[in-house]
Amino acid sequence: MTTYSVITGTGIYLPKKKVSNEDFLNFAFYEANGTPIAKDNRYVVDKFKEITTIEERRYVADDLVASDIAYFAAKDAIKDAQLDPETLDYIIVAHNFGDVKHGSNRSDMVPALAARVKHKLKIKNPECVAYDVPFGCPGWLQGIIQADYYIKSGDAKKILVIGTETLSRVIDLHDRDSMIYADGAGATILESREADQRTGILAHKTRSDTYRYAEMLTMGCSYNITEENKQDLYLKMNGRRLYQYALETVPLSIKACLDKAEVPIEKVKKVLIHQANGKMDDAIIDRLYKLYGYEEAPESIMPMIISWLGNSSVATVPTLLDLILKNKVEGHSIEAGDLVVFASVGAGMNINAAVYQF
């Protein structure tokens, strides 16, 4: 018998506020050098949709922060797994900015968001360890990878992993890249299972390319600098270089993970990739299949929700997983026996991938 880490419950929180591309038509967009963008906003918005496939995103209500929506997703996952929260061994929360209140862009990370979620869940058990993972967009998957290590070492049997973010609070509204970002939370329960046949997490791989690429996602001043905001910092992205980096490295990382798991690409039912940019993800999946000698990826292999939910960083993959498992992504399903790949890329630059047997 071998110990495996299996998913027994998932949960999400989708903010109710919908923000369409049309809502950005009256914004004042600037170039990085502080000059107004020469093109009119209709061109900017239409070009943005063409490049990213995003039409709509979700923002949290003014009275909520990241730990609140993490708690909502956690309750959903705990209910789905039908477990007593007092039996959890770890709570791991992935995020990048902590709790950012409405009207501010200041990060609040003390205590850790995981501690706040544990408090909101009213868990009294001191043996339930709660901590955070700031790892860029791959944070939720890195939390899953850490949980797998705990379970396979015999240190834990039940672990809650959450990805939560309120990116709408840290974006520069004068930067056209701000249209990419969204808010949301996704939670997953991993449990230990003894089995003769392979199940759950079969393999995972992580890499960090900091030497050349650490500054492709950073914090910086608004593109429209005034006396009032010149001390504030906002999320900034070198989109063109990031795009090229992802195309060069993510397919190789996924292939390395599949090789480690000894799984041929033909056996993979779905690839659940971080919903970063629709066109970029399409290019990544095609490059992955080219590594195996295919001209392009199968049409149904990569479900996408970015067009209506945007890029919610650490929350995109667990949100996608939950929606598919609960039959809320048209044309896509995951059944017992299916092999699924999880993959993500983000600030650091960090990449990770995992192969999972349902």
C-alpha gyration radius of the chain:
20
Question: What are the contacts of 296-301 at 24+ separation with CB within 8 A?
Answer: 297/271, 300/331, 300/332, 301/268, 301/269, 301/270, 301/271
Which has the minimum average pLDDT: 6-10, 168-172, 222-226?
Answer: 222-226
Structure confidence at residue 281 (pLDDT) = 95
Of 353, 342, 298, 310, give the one whose Cα is nearest residue 55: 310
Helix (H) or strand (E) holding 279: helix 278-290
The average pLDDT across 28-47 equals 89
The average pLDDT across 95-107 equals 93
pLDDT at 85 over 80: yes
Cα separation, 266 vs 56, in Å, equals 33
Q: What phi and psi, each to the nearest 5 degrees, are found at residue 234?
A: -130, 160
Q: Give the architecture-level CATH label for domain 200-357.
A: 3-Layer(aba) Sandwich (3.40)
pLDDT at 20 over 80: yes
Structure confidence at residue 227 (pLDDT) = 52
CA distances from residue 318 to 10, 83, 95, 107, 108 in whole angstroms, order as listed: 8, 19, 13, 23, 23
Task: Decide if 178 contacts 133 (C-beta within 8 A).
Answer: no
Cα separation, 115 vs 10, in Å, equals 20
Helices (H), 87-230: 113-120, 139-153, 210-213
Instruction: Give residue-wise pLDDT tens across range 309-334.
Output: 999 999 999 999 999 999 999 999 99
Cα separation, 198 vs 201, in Å, equals 9
Tell me, yes or no, if the two domains 2-195 and 200-357 fold the same way.
yes
pLDDT at 97 over 70: yes
Which residues neighbour 305 within 8 Å (Cβ) at sequence distance 6 or greater? 275, 316, 319, 320, 323, 329
Instruction: Give residue-wise pLDDT tens across range 328-354.
Output: 999 999 999 999 999 999 998 999 999
HEC readout, 336-350? CCCEEEEEEEECCCE
Instruction: Give residue-wise pLDDT tens across range 211-235.
Output: 888 888 888 888 887 756 667 888 8
Task: Decide if 311 contacts 239 (C-beta within 8 A).
Answer: no
pLDDT at 175 over 60: yes
Cα separation, 27 vs 23, in Å, equals 8
| Beta strands 268-273; 339-346: pairing state | parallel
Task: Decide if 183 contacts 166 (C-beta within 8 A).
Answer: yes
pLDDT at 264 over 60: yes
β strands within the chain, DSSP E: 2-13, 17-20, 56-59, 90-94, 129-133, 158-166, 183-195, 200-208, 217-220, 234-237, 268-273, 339-346, 350-357
Structure confidence at residue 150 (pLDDT) = 98
Q: How many degrees, rounded to 5, is the angle at CA 350 between CA 297 and CA 282? A: 20
Of 205, 112, 199, 234, give the one whose Cα is nearest residue 162: 112
Instruction: Give residue-wise pLDDT tens across range 40-61.
Output: 889 999 999 999 999 999 999 9
- Map out the domains of the chain as residue ranges: 2-195, 200-357
| Beta strands 200-208; 350-357: pairing state | antiparallel
Instruction: Report the chain's mean pLDDT, rounded to a whole number.
Output: 94
The average pLDDT across 68-93 equals 98
Instruction: Enter the CATH code of domain 2-195.
Output: 3.40.47.10
